[in-house]
Structure 1
Amino acid sequence: MSVYLISRFKIHDRALYDKYEDLFMPTFENSGGTLLSVDEEPRVLQGEWEHTRSVLIEFPDKESAFAWMMSPEYQAIAKYRLEGSEGQSIMVKGMDPA
């Protein structure tokens, strides 16, 4: 069953975050995932939204999502995201087609 990673970040050091962004795609290309959305200007429909970036990624299953997140290649660049921003991420299950 597919899963989706939903993340939102408040970027406070653009240079560090840009370094993460520059290195992101090479770690992601063979992950089996699909980058569905990266948005720095989402339309707020309800509530407060103080984040500067929203990201939506689809994976075919939770195993492939975790394999990518825990890969040495991704872990090597995640430090730039962690140092350059604060944020939240969740994993949600896709709908069962049955």
Structure 2
Amino acid sequence: MTVYCIAQLRFTDRPAYDRYQAAFMPVFLKFQGRLLAADEAPQVVEGDWDREKLVLMSFPDEAAYRAWAESPEYQAISKDRVAGSEAVVLLVKGFG
């Protein structure tokens, strides 16, 4: 079953986050994920939103997501994401 990873970010150290962002795609492309959206100016149409960036990714299943998120390659670069932002990350099951 397809799963979606939604990351909502607030920047705390932009240079650290920029290092993460520069290293992200080469690592991400080694896995089965698809980057669906990455927007630093999403339009809030209802409610309050206190973040600065939204990232939406899909994976064929939770095992594929975990293979990426727990990989040594991703763990190495994610240190800059953690240092450079406060994040809320959700894993959502798709239909079918």
Q: TM-score, normalised by structure 1?
A: 0.95
Unpaired runs of at least 5, structure 1 = none
Identical columns (%): 46
Query: How much has 1:82 moved relative to structure 2?
Result: 0.3
- The corresponding residue for 1:15 is 15
- The corresponding residue for 2:93 is 93
- The corresponding residue for 1:49 is 49
Asked if residue 63 in structure 1 is aligned to residue 63 in structure 2, the reply is: yes
Q: Deviations over 1:5-39 (max 9, x none)?
A: 01100012110000000000111002100000000
Query: How much has 1:47 moved relative to structure 2?
Result: 1.3
Root-mean-square deviation (CA, aligned residues, Å) is 0.6
Structure 1 segments (4+ residues) deviating >6 Å? none
Deviates more, 1:72-81 or 1:39-48: 39-48
Asked if residue 5 in structure 1 is aligned to residue 13 in structure 2, the reply is: no
User: Which secondary structure state, in structure 2, belongs to the residue aligned with residue 88 of structure 1?
Assistant: strand
Unpaired runs of at least 5, structure 2 = none
Q: TM-score, normalised by structure 2?
A: 0.97
Between the two proteins, the alignment pairs up a number of residues equal to 96
Asked if residue 25 in structure 1 is aligned to residue 25 in structure 2, the reply is: yes
